[in-house]
Amino acid sequence: MSHECFADEIAIDFPSVGRVVERMRDAFLGQPVDGDLLRADVSLSQREAFAGLVVSVAVPIRVTCPHCGGRGETWTEACALCRGTGESRLHHPVRVTVPPRVADGARFRFRIKSPGASPVRIEVRVAIRSSAA
């Protein structure tokens, strides 16, 4: 079965929704979506790992370009703000609570959903620095 239905129309008229349509098509056809997990590493001292703490992670979130409304162009020229993609990126700060006595290599997964943006899946990996460093 071809996954190219409406590909030309989407690419020409609404380039920013191409990824969304691809994800909907994959979800409808039961195929997994790869590559939508963002990873971040958090480096902690042994003391921080023992006590636990709250760390801030900047998560890039894609939103529809406010200048062109997601078309990627204004009249006949590429949108200068999004460079023709129809999307803008915002860095959204997220506070992650690292529990006390966390182990080196521990991973936390969560999802962020923001109004006007696609949900983002995040995986934070904890790395504990040795005291000799």
Q: Are 98 and 52 in contact (CB under 8 A)?
A: yes
Residues 54, 77 within the same domain = yes
Residues 115 and 68 in one domain: yes
- State how far Cα 46 lies from the chain centre: 29
Residues 29 and 43 in one domain: no
Partnered with residue 117 across adjacent β-strands are 63
Which carries the bigger pLDDT value, residue 55 or residue 92? 55
Based on the fold, state whether residues 28 and 51 are members of the same structural domain.
Answer: no
Under the phi-then-psi rule, with left for phi > 0, alpha for psi from -120 to 50, and beta for the rest, what region is 16? alpha
Contacts of 124 (CB under 8 A, 6+ apart): 39, 40, 41, 42, 57, 96, 107, 108, 109
Q: ∠ at Cα 17 (13, 22), nearest 5°?
A: 115
Average pLDDT score over the chain: 76
**Mean pLDDT, rounded, for 25-31:** 61
Do 74 and 29 have their domain in common? no
DSSP 3-state assignment of 91? strand
Report the number of distinct structural domains present in the chain. Answer: 2
For residue 122 the two structure tokens come to: 């995040």
List pLDDT tens digits, range 16-25.
666 666 667 6
Q: Could you tell me the pTM of the whole model? A: 0.56
- pLDDT for position 34: 46
- Give the CATH number for residue 80: 2.60.260.20
Q: What is the pLDDT of residues 50-79, one digit of tens each?
A: 999 999 988 877 778 888 877 888 777 888
pLDDT at 62: 77
- Would residue 133 count as lying in a domain? no
CB atoms within 10 A of CB 69: 13
